[in-house]
Amino acid sequence: MNRMDVTEKIVSAKVAKGIRWEDVAGRVGQSKEWTTALCLGQMTASAEQATILGDIFGLTDEECKWLQVVPYKGSLPTAVPTDPLIYRWYEIVNVYGTTVKELIHEEFGDGIMSAIDFHMDIVRAPDPKGDRVNVILSGKFLPYKQY
Amino acid sequence: MNRMDVTEKIVSAKVAKGIRWEDVAGRVGQSKEWTTALCLGQMTASAEQATILGDIFGLTDEECKWLQVVPYKGSLPTAVPTDPLIYRWYEIVNVYGTTVKELIHEEFGDGIMSAIDFHMDIVRAPDPKGDRVNVILSGKFLPYKQY
Amino acid sequence: MNRMDVTEKIVSAKVAKGIRWEDVAGRVGQSKEWTTALCLGQMTASAEQATILGDIFGLTDEECKWLQVVPYKGSLPTAVPTDPLIYRWYEIVNVYGTTVKELIHEEFGDGIMSAIDFHMDIVRAPDPKGDRVNVILSGKFLPYKQY
Amino acid sequence: MNRMDVTEKIVSAKVAKGIRWEDVAGRVGQSKEWTTALCLGQMTASAEQATILGDIFGLTDEECKWLQVVPYKGSLPTAVPTDPLIYRWYEIVNVYGTTVKELIHEEFGDGIMSAIDFHMDIVRAPDPKGDRVNVILSGKFLPYKQY
Amino acid sequence: MNRMDVTEKIVSAKVAKGIRWEDVAGRVGQSKEWTTALCLGQMTASAEQATILGDIFGLTDEECKWLQVVPYKGSLPTAVPTDPLIYRWYEIVNVYGTTVKELIHEEFGDGIMSAIDFHMDIVRAPDPKGDRVNVILSGKFLPYKQY
Amino acid sequence: MNRMDVTEKIVSAKVAKGIRWEDVAGRVGQSKEWTTALCLGQMTASAEQATILGDIFGLTDEECKWLQVVPYKGSLPTAVPTDPLIYRWYEIVNVYGTTVKELIHEEFGDGIMSAIDFHMDIVRAPDPKGDRVNVILSGKFLPYKQY
Amino acid sequence: MNRMDVTEKIVSAKVAKGIRWEDVAGRVGQSKEWTTALCLGQMTASAEQATILGDIFGLTDEECKWLQVVPYKGSLPTAVPTDPLIYRWYEIVNVYGTTVKELIHEEFGDGIMSAIDFHMDIVRAPDPKGDRVNVILSGKFLPYKQY
Amino acid sequence: MNRMDVTEKIVSAKVAKGIRWEDVAGRVGQSKEWTTALCLGQMTASAEQATILGDIFGLTDEECKWLQVVPYKGSLPTAVPTDPLIYRWYEIVNVYGTTVKELIHEEFGDGIMSAIDFHMDIVRAPDPKGDRVNVILSGKFLPYKQY
Amino acid sequence: MNRMDVTEKIVSAKVAKGIRWEDVAGRVGQSKEWTTALCLGQMTASAEQATILGDIFGLTDEECKWLQVVPYKGSLPTAVPTDPLIYRWYEIVNVYGTTVKELIHEEFGDGIMSAIDFHMDIVRAPDPKGDRVNVILSGKFLPYKQY
Amino acid sequence: MNRMDVTEKIVSAKVAKGIRWEDVAGRVGQSKEWTTALCLGQMTASAEQATILGDIFGLTDEECKWLQVVPYKGSLPTAVPTDPLIYRWYEIVNVYGTTVKELIHEEFGDGIMSAIDFHMDIVRAPDPKGDRVNVILSGKFLPYKQY
């Protein structure tokens, strides 16, 4: 058994039972973004969270233990994603990558925006011309230092 | 001559003269995100904007014309970026890609978040534990339709 | 279980029972292009459509539920397709890619032809020198905007 | 000197002089699709066409001769295109590739849609919800034969 | 079930029963080249041919139906083949590719040698210095046309 | 200076002077296939041949010396060729690769068809349904031996 | 069943029974290099050799038949091997590749060192500073010829 | 200036002056294998050796200094070499890679054959059936140790 | 059965029983770094160590034998790792790679730092600004020699 | 002009003048590791440091300004490095990658070792059996948090 087996079982149960990620997040007591990433095999659960997920998705004890093991992260099957929704994000990185780099360096100097001390919030923004997906990414700035 | 020559000249002039992207944006009258992407060869200028940029960076008439030609977009030299700042964004897409997909579909149904009817805002969020880079991405939701 | 299992079962049943895509489309009440893409795991069915497909291909309730889940899209096993029929389309993109780009920009300005607000129609055009495959692609033009 | 030098000179002259592809096609006496592909280094000119293009873009005799040499075709710098407009076409091939294959085989049997005995027509389709790019692809069906 | 399962069963039966491709071709009534390609999952059988093959290799009715479905073609596991015999052919394409292109264009003008309206004949040519493999490739010339 | 410079100069002179490969081959006294491969940087000339080529293409003494140096072979810019004419040959290797392997082994046993002790002949075969490109490949069979 | 299944069974039996390749070679009556390559799925056995191997590793009749079928060669899972021992050989090819080419051409002219009419011998060379692995590679020189 | 410029100058001078690697090695006082690798930019010269090479190939003082700088090694333009002579070596690694690994481990245990404490000797072995290229590779065995 | 099966069983047992690598190392009597690499399929056990591991993880005799076979090394599923923790190490190699090369050569001359005669120690360094991961890598310097 | 031009000029001057990185670091007042990375185009200089480097390497004012611009990082020409010294580090990541991941997670929980809040120290460790390269890597542990 490995973590991918557990992920596949969770996703299968979700489809079979018609569960919503938002409701899972409510029961876990964390954001829908982090909770979904956890269920999709990218984050690590506490023992309590694992028990709650085991209850929701009908997992065995051993499967619940796997949720508490730090997973090998990376959720995409190819380096350039083929799925159109995910590709648009890759395209943003590709088209705006150097722009993002220039502007963060102009404001903060040499360093990076952390993808670890990081959170994300995805919200619907109603708009008469068509609703929008608004996403807030927040990452701590980590400066390169001299030594 | 091609657009990359113009981009390289702009970046060279920026370093030599110590120009800030934010000031360029102010003179162009658009956001710093769009303006920087324009200067880095990813967007298309109007005739007036091209003249302003020509003035700022010392471009010839022919170079100004190139700014008004739609460029071949894509700003990264490799499919997986090696630069740590840009890589963190790629990592976010890789680790959270399936999460983003699940949550947008749960809220909106099948479709994508547009990378064309799209804007981005990068801001500094002061924080006593270390300032954060906050980014707002906003893309129109475009539904897949049956036909 | 995942969507690929359902796709494989549909294709297997189609071969075993000698079903035609055009007939499936007739029963689903949509075009043959969209319906085939749905059956091949690229589109999302409504509950009614899933029931009809379940009836045609002998699917279980759980399999019908999977048809209503937005799939991870992308139908090709390699970035450059090896199948000669599909490769010819890739070749058209490769040989004519910059031409298409130039002409759409000349007519519409900077932007893209949507692959989401999109439909396709494949028809036989009788021709004494050999019948032709005619394809109509129709995608909404989405302009890049300044911000 | 090689064909790419000639292509680059043509594109440079086009930008400097503000020439439209459609007008070039009018003078060459062929469709805008074929003529643009010719100018972008993908097709082969006759002597008369080369002279006309030489006149329009200010080419030397030797450059005109290169237009009459069959070029090494392929207009994209990477196997998966990074430019969003061209990528959307790649995405159509990727998402709909197996659908196209199924439907052409269902109608015609085993074989391909030619990319050589082929033409393409790109037109604007006015639409109150936003104009559309309509493209007609027409390729002769070539059957695989037994031997 | 899919075509690859049928191919694997055919190859397995061939080894177990010690069948020769040439004899299979004799019973099918086509060339050994086309028949072998059919058995290896690259071509499409008629109903009669499928019945003959089913008889030779002990296939079920459903497996025979799969032989009549147009397969997803491409017989190699990697883009550059590792098998020395097949690699030599790849090497010929790599070393002589531009030569072949020049000579066909010199004789025929712009166009291609078809890989669809195509046949191949592999024969032993006795030679005192060591027998030779002689291969005749024959493909219809398809000219690019202007439009 | 390197061999590619010499190749580029030869091809440039060929276009400027309107020379045919077949005529070059006639003066060199070898087949058009080998001679073209030599001119395209894949084969090695004798001193006499180099002198003849120098005369035809206007090469310097040093350039003639480079023709006598064994080149780094491989004439294609990408592992999978983008040019349609050359791709068709790659496609033949991909679709028929395992067939070729099976039939040569059935006839000769384990070994390869040499790409070194090899020659190729490209001829036009008139045909009322459209002329054909016929190619004869001839390579010595080299058996694997036990030791 | 395929050859890889047989290879995996042989390797499994070797580990379970503690068999040495050298002893297998002794019973087969060939070198340890060729015999090991045979057992690892790269070479083709005679009927007698297959029987001996079947006896040593406990193979069925059908598995023994597979040993007599010419395999699809290539023993590495990636183009650049990750295993340190095998990588060192790849590194030698990468670092010394052009050197080997220059020296063989200087001695023999244009041609190759055969990898088919080839044998290899791996021996321990005792050395007070640490024993050495000495390898003798021997391949027939095959000259390119003009035609 | 960089090492590749020096390599290109050395190779150019070698062709122009008709120098043999073996003679260069004789003057340098090392083996032809090491000396050629040095001239091709893979090894590092002492000051004396650099002076000798400078004399042979007409190098400037600065170019001689570059010969004494440790180069970025790797002599091949692609991960899988396209040149037939070098490819055969890659093929040997690919086909025999696991065999070499098994036999060295059987004799020496876990570890590698060094590619650094390594030397190579390429010799002609006269043979009535065609002369052979014999190569002796010698690398120190370096054991993995526990810690 | 193969080594990967054993690795997967060990990791599964570790999760199910809540075993720590450090405790495994204590029982094996080696460092936690080497022992973990052994359990993850990268190193080779002695008979005694295999027995201890078999006892800890509940392995069969045959599985214990596999631990004593030199494995095919390489622990990552892609050439560029997607997991953020492992990627950071790849990033260090990418960003600092040429720096490491320059400084080792400046101190030691031409050669490498061995990855075989090598050990690694990972320790926690308490720090009021956030604890640090300190890693000591130690590899024997192996000089390139002339021959 | 761009940063790579400056890097190339620095390296060229270093070779021509025989400068040592350690001495450069002494004058800059930082570690040899950081200073070398700066000179090789991976780090960002302060104005004072740029002036010192300009003095050492004979840089113009504009070149000194480039040293103060945050560079596009990544120092290797290929994803898998070909240079043996750098490859050994890649190999360590490949072989020990999962080990490093397991042990850091066992000690610290889910998170990463920073490559930004990071320093490195390369030292010679005298050893009678051959001196060793000892490297200390120190990166702050950054925990993934729930949100």
Would you place residue G110 in the very low, low, confident or very high pLDDT band (cuts 50, 70, 90)?
Answer: very high
* Tokens (6 digits) for B3: 């657009």
Residue F143's CB: how many other CB atoms inside 10 A?
Answer: 13
Instruction: Given the residues J8, J12, J88, J102, select the one marked as catalytic.
Output: J88
Helix axes E32-39, F84-108, angle to 10 degrees: 100
DSSP SS3 for B91 = helix
Q: What is the pLDDT of residues D93-146, one digit of tens each?
A: 999 999 999 999 999 999 999 999 999 999 999 999 999 999 999 999 999 999
Q: What is the mean pLDDT of chain H?
A: 98
- pLDDT confidence of residue G91: 98
Q: What is the pLDDT of residues J7-47, one digit of tens each?
A: 999 999 999 999 999 999 999 999 999 999 999 999 999 99
Out of B70, B105, B112, the one facing C116 most closely (by C-beta) is B112
Domains B3-67 and B84-143 share a fold: no
Q: What is the pLDDT of residues A53-107, one digit of tens each?
A: 999 999 999 999 999 999 999 999 999 999 999 999 999 999 999 999 999 999 9
J139 DSSP assignment: E
Those residues with Cβ within 8 angstroms of residue G62's Cβ, 6 or more apart along the chain or in another chain: E15, E16, G1
Q: What is the pLDDT of residues G7-20, one digit of tens each?
A: 999 999 999 999 99
- Percent of chain E at pLDDT above 90? 99
DSSP SS3 for E118 = strand
CB J121 within 8 A of CB I101: no
Q: What is the pLDDT of residues H90-130, one digit of tens each?
A: 999 999 999 999 999 999 999 999 999 999 999 999 999 99
Listing DSSP states for I8-75 in one string gives: HHHHHHHHHHT--HHHHHHHHTS-HHHHHHHHTTSS---HHHHHHHHHHHT--HHHHHHHTSPP----
The minimum CA-CA distance between B9 and chain I, rounded to whole Å, is: 26
Would you place residue I27 in the very low, low, confident or very high pLDDT band (cuts 50, 70, 90)?
Answer: very high
- pLDDT confidence of residue D84: 98
Q: With helix as H, strand as E and coil as C, how does chain A read? A: CCHHHHHHHHHHHHHHHCCCHHHHHHHHCCCHHHHHHHHCCCCCCCHHHHHHHHHHHCCCHHHHHHHCCCCCCCCCCCCCCCCHHHHHHHHHHHHHHHHHHHHHHHHHCCEEEEEEEEEEEEEEECCCCCCEEEEEEEEEEEECCCC
Q: Which of residues 105-124 of D touch F (CB under 8 A)?
A: 115-116
Determine C/F contact with 3+ CB pairs under 8 A as the test: yes
**Smallest CA–CA distance from A71 into chain J, residue:** J110
Would you place residue E129 in the very low, low, confident or very high pLDDT band (cuts 50, 70, 90)?
Answer: very high
Probe site for chain B from A73, A88, A110, A116 (most B CB atoms < 10 A): A88
* Cβ neighbourhood burial of H106 (10 Å; 0-12, 13-18, 19+): middle
- pLDDT confidence of residue F133: 98
Would you place residue I81 in the very low, low, confident or very high pLDDT band (cuts 50, 70, 90)?
Answer: very high
* Tokens (6 digits) for G17: 């029974």
From first CA to last CA, the distance across chain H in angstroms is 45
Name chain D contacts of C37, Cβ cutoff 8 Å. 95-96, 99
d(CA I122, CA I22): 12
Listing DSSP states for I71-115 in one string gives: P-----SSSS--SHHHHHHHHHHHHHHHHHHHHHHHHH-SEEEEE
d(CA D84, CA C143): 12
- Interface contact H65, partner J, CB < 8 A: yes
Q: Is residue J91 annotated as part of the catalytic site, yes or no?
A: yes
Give the mean pLDDT of C88-111. 98
- pLDDT confidence of residue E15: 97
Residue D44's CB: how many other CB atoms inside 10 A?
Answer: 20
Q: Which of residues 17-46 of I touch A (CB under 8 A)?
A: 18
Would you place residue C112 in the very low, low, confident or very high pLDDT band (cuts 50, 70, 90)?
Answer: very high
Strand partners, A115: none
From first CA to last CA, the distance across chain D in angstroms is 45
Probe site for chain I from G11, G15, G88 (most I CB atoms < 10 A): G15
- Look up tokens 């390599």; give the residue: H7
* Tokens (6 digits) for A125: 């923004």
From first CA to last CA, the distance across chain E in angstroms is 45
Segment holding H136, helix H or strand E: strand H132-143
Q: What is the pLDDT of residues G39-90, one digit of tens each?
A: 999 999 999 999 999 999 999 999 999 999 999 999 999 999 999 999 999 9
Name chain A contacts of I81, Cβ cutoff 8 Å. 74
Q: What is the pLDDT of residues I91-106, one digit of tens each?
A: 999 999 999 999 999 9
- pLDDT confidence of residue H112: 98
Q: Is residue G31 annotated as part of the catalytic site, yes or no?
A: no
Residue type (1 letter), H97: G
- pLDDT confidence of residue I106: 97
CB F112 within 8 A of CB E97: no
Q: What is the pLDDT of residues C33-83, one digit of tens each?
A: 999 999 999 999 999 999 999 999 999 999 999 999 999 999 999 999 999
* Dihedral sign (CA F142, F144, G3, G4): negative
- Look up tokens 């066992």; give the residue: J106
Strand partners, A49: none
DSSP SS3 for D77 = coil
Strand partners, F4: none
- Look up tokens 């399999």; give the residue: C63
Name chain A contacts of I15, Cβ cutoff 8 Å. 1, 62, 65-66, 69
Backbone angles phi, psi at J43, to 5 degrees: -125, 175
* Cβ neighbourhood burial of H12 (10 Å; 0-12, 13-18, 19+): middle
Buried b or exposed e, range E62-85, using 16+ CB within 10 angstroms: ebbbbbebbbbbbbbeebbbbbbb
Largest CA distance in chain H: 55
- pLDDT confidence of residue B46: 98
Residue type (1 letter), J140: K
d(CA E60, CA J84): 55
Contact E30/D147, CB-based, under 8 Å? Answer: yes
From first CA to last CA, the distance across chain B in angstroms is 45
Largest CA distance in chain E: 56
d(CA A40, CA A30): 15
* Tokens (6 digits) for I74: 């390489």
- Interface contact F142, partner D, CB < 8 A: no
Listing DSSP states for F12-44 in one string gives: HHHHHHT--HHHHHHHHTS-HHHHHHHHTTSS-
- Interface contact I74, partner J, CB < 8 A: yes
Q: Enumerate the domain spans of chain C.
A: 3-67, 84-143
Domain G84-143 CATH superfamily: Cyanate lyase, C-terminal domain (3.30.1160.10)
Give CA separation, E36 vs D45, D110, J30, in Å.
42, 17, 69
CA atoms within 13 A on the CB side of E137: 23
Give the mean pLDDT of E118-139. 98
Q: What is the pLDDT of residues B84-93, one digit of tens each?
A: 999 999 999 9
- Interface contact G90, partner H, CB < 8 A: yes
Segment holding B98, helix H or strand E: helix B84-108
Helix axes D21-28, D32-39, angle to 10 degrees: 100
Please tell me whether the interface predicted TM-score (ipTM) of this complex is above 0.90.
yes
Q: What is the pLDDT of residues F4-42, one digit of tens each?
A: 999 999 999 999 999 999 999 999 999 999 999 999 999
CB C133 within 8 A of CB D138: yes
The minimum CA-CA distance between H47 and chain G, rounded to whole Å, is: 22
Question: Among all residues of E, which ones are annotated catalytic?
Answer: 88, 91, 114
- pLDDT confidence of residue J54: 98
- pLDDT confidence of residue D121: 98
- Percent of chain B at pLDDT above 70? 100
Name chain B contacts of D15, Cβ cutoff 8 Å. 1, 62, 65-66, 69
Domain E3-67 CATH superfamily: lambda repressor-like DNA-binding domains (1.10.260.40)
Q: What is the pLDDT of residues B46-81, one digit of tens each?
A: 999 999 999 999 999 999 999 999 999 999 999 999
Residue J136's CB: how many other CB atoms inside 10 A?
Answer: 15
- pLDDT confidence of residue A63: 98
Task: Specify the long-range contacts of residues I14-22, CB closer than 8 Å, at least 24 apart.
Answer: I14/I39, I14/I57, I15/A1, I15/A62, I15/A65, I15/A66, I15/A69, I16/A62, I16/A65, I18/A65, I19/I56, I19/I57, I20/J106, I21/J102, I21/J103, I21/J106, I22/J106
Q: What is the mean pLDDT of chain G?
A: 98
- pLDDT confidence of residue F16: 96
d(CA H40, CA H43): 8
Chains touching A (at least 3 CB pairs under 8 A) are: B, C, D, I, J
Closest to G68 (Cα-Cα) out of G36, G46, G91: G46
